[in-house]
Amino acid sequence: MSTSPIRLKPNRSRALFLAGLLAVLCAATLFLGLSVGSTGLDPLFSLGADPVAMQIIWDVRVPRTLGALLTGGLLGLAGAVAQGLFRNPLADPFLLGSASGASLGVAVILVGFGVSPLAAQWFVKLGLTGAAFVGAVLAVCLTLSLAKGVQHTLRLLLAGVIVGVVLGALTSLLSLTRPDILQTMQAFMLGSTAFVSWLACAIMAAVWLVCTATGVAFARVLDGLALGEATALSLGLPLTKLRGILIGVLALATGTAVAHTGLIAFVGLAAPHLVRAIVHVRHAWLLPLASLMGALLLSLADLLARGLVAPQELPVGVLTAILGGGYLMWLMNRRGLTHD
| Dihedral pair phi/psi, residue 40, rounded to 5° | 100, -140
Three-class DSSP category at 41: strand
**Could you tell me where the DSSP H helices lie in the chain?**
3-33, 44-47, 51-56, 62-85, 98-112, 122-146, 153-177, 182-190, 198-217, 219-226, 229-234, 239-261, 267-278, 283-307, 316-334
- Per-residue pLDDT tens for 187-197? 788 888 888 88
Burial class (CB in 10 A: 0-12, 13-18, 19+), 127: middle
Confidence of residue 99 (pLDDT cuts 50, 70, 90): confident
The predicted structure's pLDDT at residue 231: 63
Burial class (CB in 10 A: 0-12, 13-18, 19+), 309: exposed
Percent of the chain exceeding pLDDT 90 equals 22
29-33 average pLDDT score? 87
Confidence of residue 125 (pLDDT cuts 50, 70, 90): low
Rounding to the nearest 10 degrees, give the CA dihedral for residues 261, 263, 268, 271: -70
**1, pLDDT greater than 50:** no
The predicted structure's pLDDT at residue 202: 92
Task: List the Cα angle 128/132/138 in 5-degree steps.
Answer: 140
The predicted structure's pLDDT at residue 285: 92
Distance between CA 334 and CA 340 in Å, rounded?
Answer: 12
Distance between CA 172 and CA 38 in Å, rounded?
Answer: 32
The predicted structure's pLDDT at residue 169: 92
Choice among 190-204, 273-287, 321-335 with the minimum mean pLDDT: 321-335
Task: Give the H or E element holding residue 40.
Answer: strand 40-41
Domain annotation for the chain: domains and CATH numbers: 18-339 (1.10.3470.10)
The predicted structure's pLDDT at residue 289: 95
* Long-range contacts of 1-9, Cβ-Cβ distance < 8 Å, separation of 24 or more: none
Model confidence, pTM = 0.84
Three-class DSSP category at 14: helix
